[in-house]
Each structure stands twice: as C-alpha cells, then as structure tokens.
A and B are shown apart, each in its own frame.
Chain A
Amino acid sequence: MGPKKRILVVDDAAFMRMMIRNILTKNNFEVAGEAANGEEAVSKYIELSPDLVTLDITMPGMDGVTVLKKIRQHDPNARVVMCSAMGQQAMVVDAIQNGAKDFINKPFHPQKVVEILRRVLR
C-alpha cells in the first residue's frame, strides 16, 4: 500500500469536519488540513496540494461551486468531492459540470464516503 492519501476537509460546520475527519482517519486517509470557509479552502489548497478535497457545497461567503472553480483554476487536475445535503440537486449538478469528481450526501454513511473517495483517488 502506498503512502496515505492526503485530504483537505472543507466545511463551515466544525461538527461536520469532525465527522469527516473521523471517517477518514479510521480508514487510512490522512487529513492534510481543514478549512472553514471558501477563502481559506483556496489558500489551503495552494499551500498543501492535497490529493483530494471534500468540499461543502453551501457555505457562507464564497459558496462551494465558486471555491471549486477557483481550486480548479489553480490546479485543473484537482480532485474535488462535493458534500451536500438533500435538496441541493441543482448545485450538485452545477458542481459536477464544473469539474467536481463526485459528491457525497449528508448524513454521511462512512462506507459510502470511503468508497467514493477511493474511487476518485484511483
């Protein structure tokens, strides 16, 4: 098995960040960093060059799709997985059309999250 994949977790809710962090660390991922808003997410991405970003789709200020676009401007190969709650279909679709690799739904099912991240990282 190669080195642990480094993930940047972006969510405005500390609770959600904690949940994802737990899921990730239990499953042999490394959380490279966390960001609580869009601006922070973009600068952390540039700073850390993670293997993957989990990105909350709705955040105050810069929303997920805008963050996605900025990250991909910086790195067209960036692997970004959107985190969304139910009822955000339009935004999810928008994100995918803008290059998000996949999405995970809240509430998170650990197994599903892991499966999706592994697939995206392949």
Chain B
Amino acid sequence: MNRQFVVFPLADELYGIDIQQVMRIEKMLPLTRVPNAPPFVIGVCNLRGRVVPVIDLKRRLALPSRPNENAKIIISSIGSKVVGMTIDSTVDVSTIQTEEIEPSPALVTGIDTQFIQGVAKLSNRLLIILDVERILSVDQLNVLNDMG
C-alpha cells in the first residue's frame, strides 16, 4: 500500500505529513497575536472567512525558530479542528510504500519522539514522519510542560 506525504525541510532534516491530514498549503497570511498563549501559538489568521489558529511548527518541535517572511502555512484538519502550521519553504509530495516506514528509533535529531510517527528512506535521506494528531493535541496535560 502506498501513502503520500507532504515533504518539507525544517532546520536540517526532512519532515513529512500524511497528505490526508493536509487541507491545503498557503503562503504566509496576516496573523493576529493571541495574548497569553504559549510561544508556539503565533496567532490566528483569516482563512477565507474561517478563523484558524497558527502554530510555529519549529517551536512546537522545540527547534530554534526565527521569523521568516517566506514561510508557508500547512493547513491541517483533524476531526473538527483546523490548525495552521508554519514551515520554512518549498514543499513536495512523495509516495512511500507502507512497508518502508519504520517505527521511530529512540533517538532522532533531538526532537521529541512523541511527535514522530515513523521514519522512512527518501532518496538517501531520512524522512521523519510527523504525528499531526499529537502535535495538535494541546488541550491535554503536556501543554503544561510546554507552557512552563
């Protein structure tokens, strides 16, 4: 069985999100700051009449992040939630055989393994497949740590 992934670089690594969890990819939209929210929530934007919260994916993964004018927003929807995640730039769509996906090793690149669904080889590079549901599940307890 094949799965398709939206693939993008972040810091030095290649990351992938299952295409079924991606509604669309937008260029950066004007954001309205949300006071008193944790740093990875960088604001809300108007997506064709719908107000969508936007998180800085790098900050969410505890990677260093700085403002980027060329950033893009991956609009992801899970259940009734629609959330945007900023990424640095260029995206691609790649197809990967399900068998080629391996469970995440204990140690990858320093990002929290709870956000990793698995890894796969993509033209000699390691593709880190993100668990979007985990990334977006912020109403659980782990937020306390993030906010602390």
Any A–B CB pair closer than 8 Å: no
